[in-house]
Structures are given as structure tokens and as C-alpha cells.
Amino acid sequence: MAVLKTVLYLIVYPGILFLFVYATFVEWFDRKVYARLQNRMGPTHTGRFGLLQPIADFVKLMSKEDIVPDKADKTLFTLLPIFGLAIVATAGLLLPVWHTNPLQPGFNSFPGDIIILLYLLSLPTLIFFLAGWSSTNLFSTIGGSRVLTMLFGYEVPLFLAVLSPALLAGSWRLAEIAAFYRQHPLLILPNLIGFAVALVCVQAKLERTPFDIPHAETEIVGGTFTEYSGKKLAFFRLMTDIELVVSAGLLATVFLGGFGGGIFLGFLQFIGKTLAVIFLLTLMRAVTGRIRIDQVVSFAWKYLAPLAVLQLLIVIFIKGWVL
């Protein structure tokens, strides 16, 4: 029975099948909200309300010709999308959706798994850089260097902001943090500054406007993805979608109290809370323009990092004084 549950966990929910379906749904949601905010329609044609549009895009990309540049490092070029997809899917396994006991650590929930999750979410940035590097195309190289430059900006505030609620809850286990905030819902409020900082940093990590500099279409053609086509590009796009789901799940777990109440209620809470976070991210995407790379780093260190430190100080204050 336990083996069956584990297998279901790994493959169906929240394994690769669920992540695949949910990631495409989330991409549809993002595109629809973005379009409606811009007074356009968004996907409407494929399937009811255009729900099948991201799947159609995936299938189309998978069936296109795969072109590998002559001078590129073929092994690295081919393996990177697969690595990326594997990494974000593994990160998705650490979200406490079901089959977790807040009182007892298991294979998918152990002390320190929040650090592992954050680490797994930083690896895609390195993968993007290597993708740009191995393409040996001028535009890809510039895109890759921009990706790493942005990493210097948003990584520190993100870590500080996400670790503050963990400090308040007194645990490094995601399931325990979520359970803590479910028991003390009022303690969500002091973490709101951290929530805002984490939202902006996650937007930067996912390379969406205002931080979509690395693949800025109008400047450097495709950035890191210029030379990718066909199946590899399909995997990269799926990887970014799943990364969106996992980051939203992380933010929902740590800041919004996780997904409790068994399997079905937890499932509904997962959908609801992640969609709320993604709605906020899409709103940010629709109302801003792109900023320059040097402005990103200065903005991150001038505003985001001090705010994250402030959040940390608030948490320490509350923990020491009140609890």
C-alpha cells in the first residue's frame, strides 16, 4: 500500500503527470489574464476557452525540426533541456501536498527540505547560462551573461525573504512550516513584506517582465534560447511552466499556510492558493515594462535586499519578544 502510494506520488500527483497538466493549465491562465488586462482575447480557439492551447503549442514544438548549430557542444546542447526538466520536476516533489505527516519526517519531507527546494530552483539559472554558452551564438552568449548577472541581484533577497517565515515557525521543514501557519493564521501578517519581496524575486527568477532581459525579444533576438528549436525548445518551455508552478507552490506553502485537510481539500487549496499567487505575478507582468540589466542589480540591492533584512528583523523581534 505504501509502495503504491509512493509510486502514485512520484508519477501522478504531484509527480510528472500532474505537473505537466497543471503547468499547461497555469500557462493558459497566465496568458488569458495577461490578454484580458490588455483588452484582448487571449487563447480562445483550441478547446473550450482555449484551454488546450499550451498543449497544442507543446505538441507543435515537439514535431518541428531539431537544428543543432555546427560549432555547438552537442552533448551539452542536447542534455540541458532534459536536465532542466528533471530538476524542476524533482523540486515539485518536495511540495507538501499530500502523503506528508507534519509530525513525522518522511522521504518527501525532511528537515532542511526548504533549502533543497531553493537550491533546486536556482539550478535552472545555471542551466540557462550553460544553454546560452553551449550555443556559441553571439546573442545566446549575451543572454547567458545577463542571466547570471540577474542572479546576483535577486538571489539573496529571495533567500532572506523565504527563510524569514521559516525562522518564525521554528523549523526547516516545509510541512511543519505550513502546519504552523495553519494553526496560527494571524502570524501570516508580519510576513507580508517578505511576501512582496519574494513575489518580485520570483518574477525575476522566472525571467518575466519586468525582468525578462535574458530573452528580450526585441534586443537580442532570443537570448539564451536563440538556437534551440523543436523538442529541446518544447522541453525548455515546459520547464519554465513547471518552474512557475513550483515557485508559486513554494510561496503558497511558506507564506499562505500550505495545503492541509487531507487529499481532496488539500488539492483544492493547492489549486486555489497557487492560482492566487500566479494571478499576482501576471498582474505584475502586465503593468510594467522591461528594465535594463544594470537597473535590475541596483534595484535589487537598493530596495529588495534592505526590505528582506527588515523582514528578518521583524521576525526575530516577534520571536524573541512575543513567543
Binding to another protein by residue 40, rule CB under 8 A? yes
Taking the least distance from each CB to another protein, the nearer of 85 and 166 is 85
How many C-beta atoms surround the C-beta of residue 75 within 10 A?
9
Q: Could you give the string, one character per residue 84-123, with x where binding to another protein holds by CB under 8 A and - elsewhere?
A: ----------------------------------------
Assigned C-alpha cell, 177:
512550516
3-state helix, strand, coil in the chain (%, to 5): 75, 0, 25
Q: Which one of 76-84, 157-165, 189-197, 288-296 is the stretch in contact with another protein (CB under 8 A)?
A: 288-296
Total binding residues toward another protein, as defined by CB under 8 A? 31
Phi, psi of 152 (to 5 degrees): -65, -20
Distance CA 169, CA 76 (A): 41
Binding to another protein by residue 288, rule CB under 8 A? yes
Task: Give residues with Cβ within 8 angstroms of 218, minimum separation 6.
Answer: none
> Which position among 75, 289, 320, 323 is part of the footprint of another protein (CB under 8 A)?
289
CB of 33 to another protein, least distance (A): 12
Alpha-carbon separation of residue 117 from 1, 96, 122 (angstroms): 27, 12, 9
Q: Could you give the string, one character per residue 160-199, with x where binding to another protein holds by CB under 8 A and - elsewhere?
A: ----------------------------------------
Assigned C-alpha cell, 183:
494553526
Side-chain-side CA neighbours of 104 within 13 Å: the count stands at 3
Sign of the alpha-carbon torsion through 207, 209, 215, 220: negative
CB of 294 to another protein, least distance (A): 8
Q: Which one of 13-21, 160-168, 214-222, 267-275 is the stretch in contact with another protein (CB under 8 A)?
A: 214-222
> Which position among 220, 251, 277, 304 is part of the footprint of another protein (CB under 8 A)?
220
Q: Could you give the string, one character per residue 53-72, with x where binding to another protein holds by CB under 8 A and - elsewhere?
A: ---------xxxx-------
Distance CA 163, CA 118 (A): 10
Assigned C-alpha cell, 156:
539573496
> Which position among 16, 37, 271, 314 is part of the footprint of another protein (CB under 8 A)?
37
Q: Which of residues 229-268 bind another protein (CB under 8 A)?
A: 231
Distance CA 43, CA 89 (A): 26
Contact residues toward another protein (CB under 8 A) are 37-40, 62-65, 138, 142, 209-210, 212-213, 216-221, 231, 286-295
